[in-house]
Amino acid sequence: MSFKIFPLPVKAIVIDLDGTLLHTAPELAESANRMLRDMGRPPVSQDLLMSYIGNGIHWLVKRALTGDMHAEPDAKLFDEALPIFERHYTELATQSKPFQNVMQGLDAMKAAGFRLGCITNKVERYTTPILQSAGLAKYFEIVVAGDTLPEKKPHPMPLLHSAKFFDVAIEHLLLIGDSLSDAQAARAAGCPIICVPYGYNHGEPVESLNVDAVIPDLAAAMPLIKKA
């Protein structure tokens, strides 16, 4: 199902974190390269590491170790690498900054009466301090992190859970994201999705995804939506 008649009737908006609200790639890439350095392995370019982002930290670490989007590293190697990455990322994570017009977009959505949530595949112990340090936590009534529920995006569960939390029909819940996993989650749940083009879609243009619209920044969503 796609929703192509604008403005979309919306009651609540849930927004992805990495690549949509916050530019987290520099800190993630630096943490991955510090991990590789500590393990005596060669560094990887930030552009390549950026293409590895979007399915959670476990996959980022696996991809940094293997240089492949889908390969599984040796289990012992991964078990050694993950806590090294986590130590560095704990130190760096709260340095991430919002993308341009994120605050303006959130302020406009709030002023228009839309209820807001954040859905991310990042685990809660990073998500909460990152949102707080960036000044974004105050905007969201609900934050669904990667370990909040048994499933995460691209599974529809986080979206269905959010619709239930807001007590809105799923078709009146809008997801704003930046990646294939966002698009797949929205289509599986049956809700509309709008994407931004500046995020982390494994190096692929978001225009190629099954989404309802692509907007240059968060504030540009406002003309495309109305209160349901």
* Domain limit, last residue, from 54, 69, 95: 95
- Segment 61-73 shows an average pLDDT of 96
* Domain limit, last residue, from 95, 114, 131: 95
**Model confidence at 18: pLDDT above 70:** yes
**Model confidence at 4: pLDDT above 90:** no
Helix then strand then coil, in percent of the chain rounded to 5, is 45, 15, 40
Same domain, 138 and 171: yes
Query: Quick one: pLDDT band at residue 5, thresholds 50, 70, 90?
Result: confident
Cα–Cα distance list, 201 to 3, 38, 54, 81, 172 (Å): 21, 28, 7, 24, 25
Helix or strand or coil: residue 5? coil
Same domain, 183 and 70: no
Task: Tell me the residue type at 214.
Answer: V
Answer for the pair 10, 226: CB distance below 8 angstroms, yes or no: yes
Same domain, 76 and 183: no
**Model confidence at 46: pLDDT above 90:** no
pTM for the whole structure = 0.95
Same domain, 219 and 117: yes
Residue 192 is assigned to a structural domain of this protein: yes
Give the chain's mean pLDDT. 96
Instruction: Write out pLDDT tens, residues 97-108.
Output: 999 999 999 999
**Model confidence at 16: pLDDT above 80:** yes
Query: Quick one: pLDDT band at residue 22, thresholds 50, 70, 90?
Result: very high
Choose the catalytic residue: 16, 18, 178, 212: 16
Instruction: Write out pLDDT tens, residues 179-213.
Output: 999 999 999 999 999 999 999 998 899 999 999 99
Share of the chain above pLDDT 70, in %: 99
Same domain, 102 and 158: yes
Instruction: Write out pLDDT tens, residues 77-123.
Output: 999 999 999 999 999 999 999 999 999 999 999 999 999 999 999 99
Q: What is the pLDDT of residue 202?
A: 86
Query: Quick one: pLDDT band at residue 1, thresholds 50, 70, 90?
Result: low
Residue 207 is assigned to a structural domain of this protein: yes
Same domain, 80 and 101: no
State how many domains the chain has. 2
Active site (annotated) includes residue 16: yes
Separation CA 160–CA 14 (nearest Å): 11
Task: Tell me the residue type at 191.
Answer: C
- Between strands 225-227 and 213-214, the pairing is unpaired
**For residue 220, what are the domain limits?**
8-23+97-227
Q: What is the pLDDT of residue 224?
A: 97
